[in-house]
Amino acid sequence: MRCLMCENLSFSHICNNCQTTFLTPSLYRRKILGDIEVISFYKYSDIKNLLHTKHTDLGYYMYTILAKNSLEKFAAQFSYTQHVVSIAIDDTLSSGYSHTAILNRALKSDFITPKFNKLRAKNRVTYSGKSREFRMLNPRNFELKEFKEKELILVDDIVTTGSTLTQAIKLLHSNNKNTLFCLSLTDASIK
């Protein structure tokens, strides 16, 4: 096959050279709810076209490559005083896979155990391209499934206004869960 970025022959959808050149992550940080850090790995403009494959068959491969180059490397270097779990925002299957479950799975390490199907949105509205006002008027109405661990890492693909993560953190907090920090591929405010 050919690399989707440089069109050279490749065994992967994006060749190793392009992954090194274009998909080497950097860390970007912002805070929500006053003190909860959101760590992102890419500028939105750098991976925008890859993210737009989310609801296609190709998206599975793009998200797997992005997760391997960012979240998996982060997890390999992460250490903590105890074992924690990671929870994905609404890891519901769409187009045959869940893009947030792919990201969450990449966090499996000595200190992190991914949990799946734990935080689901009851409101299926899409926030893509919508204003902050629209997001506030149409909350996700998350439903939390039981799990015993108290400390966790919250995972999403894109942070725009932070309202989705904020809604999830508030629900987790009301259920005696402590969100250590959030991880996302990109923060849309970082161009």
Exposed, middle or buried: residue 21 (CB in 10 Å: 0-12, 13-18, 19+)?
A: exposed
Indicate whether 96 pLDDT > 90. Answer: no
pLDDT at 127: 63
Please tell me the predicted confidence (pLDDT) of residue 151: 96
> Using one digit for the tens of pLDDT, what is the confidence trace for 10-27?
999 999 999 999 999 999
Residues 69/100, Cβ–Cβ less than 8 Å: no
Stronger pLDDT, 189 or 78, i.e. the higher one: 78
Task: Share the mean pLDDT of the chain.
Answer: 91
pLDDT band at 141 (very low <50, low <70, confident <90, very high): confident
pLDDT category at 140 given cuts 50, 70, 90 is confident
Dihedral Cα 176, 142, 167, 60, nearest 10 deg: 110
Kindly tell me if the per-residue pLDDT of 95 is higher than 70. no
Identify the structural domains of the chain with CATH numbers, from first to last: 25-187 (3.40.50)
Enter the pTM of the model.
0.91
Whether residue 49 has pLDDT greater than 90: yes
Is residue 174 pLDDT above 70, yes or no?
yes
